[in-house]
């Protein structure tokens, strides 16, 4: 599990090169209000974005295979359960049974070839748990 360099800095997640445009996401473990769950980071339109892996329709993981969140055109995030469709740039539901809700974002930044995520008051690192899962 990656450790933060110091408090207040990002938690190293993966290399920039691990996130291909429209490719498979890298999954990582977090605690939301102390409860373990997974999050994912991917790259769409050149932008690196991260969300909790939890559908706004029913709180279940959305990927249809591990790390696979995007539709056939590699444009939108689609839940594998009932097809809720989300805009990658902001996580808003644009179609399907998610009713205008949005995915919960995790703040990420990309710098010097490294992608890191930033804990918040409610989303914390899950140190000691299983760590990131990189795409092959
Ligand atoms: S659980 Fe995701 S669309 Fe229903």
Provide φ and ψ at 129, rounded to 5°: -90, 180
Whole-number pLDDT of residue 132: 60
| The token pair that represents 113 in the structure block | 């070839």
What integer pLDDT is reported at residue 3 of this predicted model? 43
- Identify whether 131 is part of a domain: no
Cross-strand pairs, 21: 43
Is 5 a domain residue?
no
Tell me the two tokens of residue 55. 């559908």
What residue's CA is closest to ligand 1, atom 4?
Answer: 82
The tokens for 16 are 């920039």
Number of domains in the chain: 1
- Residue ranges for the chain with pLDDT beneath 70: 1-8, 128-136
pTM of the model: 0.89
- Under the phi-then-psi rule, with left for phi > 0, alpha for psi from -120 to 50, and beta for the rest, what region is 128? left
Ligand 1 atom with least separation from CA of 80? 2
Residue written as tokens 């329709």? 57
Task: Say if strands 93-95 and 26-32 run parallel, antiparallel, or are unpaired.
Answer: unpaired
**Residue 85 Cα to ligand 1 middle (Å):** 9
**CATH value at residue 94:** 2.102.10.10
Please tell me the distance between residue 78's alpha carbon and the centre of ligand 1 in angstroms: 9
- Contact between 95 and 17 under an 8 Å Cβ cutoff? The reply is no
Provide the residue range defining the domain that includes 52.
11-125
Determine, yes or no, domain membership for 130. Answer: no
C-alpha 24 – ligand 1 centre gap (Å): 19
Please count the other Cβ atoms lying within 10 Å of the Cβ belonging to residue 34: 8
Residue 104 lies in a domain: yes
């Amino acid at each position: 599990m990656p450790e933060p360099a110091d408090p207040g800095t990002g938690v190293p997640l993966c290399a920039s090169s691990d996130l291909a445009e429209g490719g498979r996401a890298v999954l990582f473990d977090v605690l939301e209000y102390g409860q373990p769950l997974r999050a994912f980071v991917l790259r769409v339109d050149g932008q690196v974005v991260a969300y909790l892996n939890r559908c706004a329709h029913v709180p279940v993981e959305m990927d249809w295979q591990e790390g696979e969140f995007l539709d056939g055109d590699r444009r939108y995030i689609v839940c594998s359960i009932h097809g809720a469709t989300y805009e990658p740039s902001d996580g808003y539901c644009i179609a399907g049974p998610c009713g205008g809700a949005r995915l919960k974002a995790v703040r990420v930044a990309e710098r010097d070839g490294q992608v890191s995520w930033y804990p918040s008051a409610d989303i914390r690192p899950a140190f000691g748990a299983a760590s990131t899962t990189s795409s092959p």
